[in-house]
Amino acid sequence: MIEIKDLGKSYKTDEVETLALQKLNLKVEEGGFTAIMGPSGCGKSTLLNIIGMLDSPTQGSYNFSGIEVGGLKERQRTAMRKGNLGFVFQSFNLIDELTVFENVELPLIYLKMGLAQRKEKVIQVLDRMKISHRKKHYPHQLSGGQQQRVAIARALVTKPKLILADEPTGNLDSKNGIEVMNLLTEMNQEGTTIIMVTHSERDSYYAHNIVNLFDGQIVSDSSNKLRAMS
């Protein structure tokens, strides 16, 4: 599903060029669950942003479902993201001015789906996330765990091929964290590919394979033996 070859990303300021990612190669199969780990500043989020087409690489190629997306312009990347990708962020990133229902509905509006169909899908996904009783609430009226469930609902509502999760449990207590990881696993078992950036050893157990980054390079890419053992 994803094939990355010799990918690099550098940031230039007036005097300094910083290499965030260099000569990176990665393959993610459809239905996989990959955890990207590494110390702060190693390039995890940069890699996730490039995979999520929020950012573009400065070198190398990035092939998504058979399409080279590395050199696409913002407008084309947006079109590719729509319906194909779902995002789950550490800080939830819900729109404060929209209710739970409206936040989840938003990606469907951008897909130009009809009202009745939108309503049906949103209710379905909210039921599944066990948050439909809060559908008229605003984000600030929810707990962190509830907000993250709404964020996952929003990522899932378009039935994307790939969900990108950036530290999804980073702002949650352990109980809510486990709940969120179980939800992601469930999604994955239903066929959704998941790529997750995490610092948490515990969360990485849920992944099929773990990619370790250090200074913008992959230092190990292995199947998750612990998970396999369990």
Partner 1 sequence: MLKNYLTIAWRNLKKNKAYSIINIGGLALGIAVTLIIALWIEDEISFNDYYTNKSKIAQVFQSQTFNGEIGTGPAIPRPLEVAFRDNYLDNFEHLVMSSWNNSQYLKYGDKSISKSGNFMQRGAPEMLDLKILEGEKDGLREINSIMLSESVANALFGEEEAIGKVIEVNNQYDMQVTAVYEDIPVNNSFNDAEFLMPWEKYITTQEWVKEAINSWGNNSFQMFVQIADNTSMQAVTDKIRNVKKELDEDNAQFNPQLFLFPMEEWYLRGNFEKGKQVGGRIKYVWLFGIIGLFVLLLACINFMNLSTARSEKRAKEVGIRKSIGSQRNQLIKQFLSESFIVVCFAFFLAIFIVLLSLDGFNELSRKEISFPWQNVLFWIVSIFFILITSLIAGSYPALYLSSFRPVDVLKGTFKAGKYEGLPRKILVVLQFTVSVAFIIGTVIVMQQINHAKNRPIGYDKEGLIQIPTFSQDFTGKYELMRSEFLGSNAVIEMSTSSSPTTRIWSNRNGFTWEGKPEGFQEDLAWTEVSHEYAKSLNLKIVEGRDFSKEFATDSNAVLINQTAVKYLGLSNPIGVLIKDDSEEDPDPPLRIIGVVEDMITQSPYERVKQGMYVFDKHGNGSYYNLRLNPKQSASQNLAVIERVFKEHFPGLPFHYDFVDDEYGKKFSAEERIGTLSGIFTALAILISCLGLFGLTSFVAEQRTKEIGVRKVLGASVFNVWNMLSKDFLKLVVISCFIAIPISYYLMNGWLQDYPYRVIIEWWIFVLAVVGALAITLLTVSFQAIKAASVNPVDSLRTE
Give the footprint of partner 1 on this chain (CB under 8 A): 45, 49, 52, 54-55, 74-75, 78-79, 81-83, 86-87, 89, 91, 93-98, 102, 105-107, 109-112, 154, 158
Quickly count: other Cβ atoms within 10 Å of residue 114's Cβ.
9
Considering beta carbons, is residue 76 or 220 the nearer one to partner 1? 76
Residue 189: count other Cβ atoms within 10 Å of its Cβ. Answer: 10
Task: Tell the smallest beta-carbon distance from residue 53 to partner 1 (Å).
Answer: 9
- Tell me phi and psi for residue 203, to 5 degrees: -65, -35
* Backbone φ and ψ of 162, nearest 5°: -135, 135
Residue number with CB closer to partner 1 (3 or 55): 55
CB of residue 30 to partner 1, shortest distance in Å: 21
| Residue 134 exposure: Cα atoms within 13 Å on the Cβ side | 23
Closest to partner 1 by CB, 43 vs 209, is: 43
| 74 vs 201, beta carbon nearer partner 1 | 74
Q: In whole angstroms, how close is the CB of 81 to partner 1 at the nearest point?
A: 6
CA distance 50 to 173: 28
Q: Which of 226, 154, 221, 156 is nearest to 188 (CA)?
A: 156
CB of 193 to partner 1, least distance (A): 17
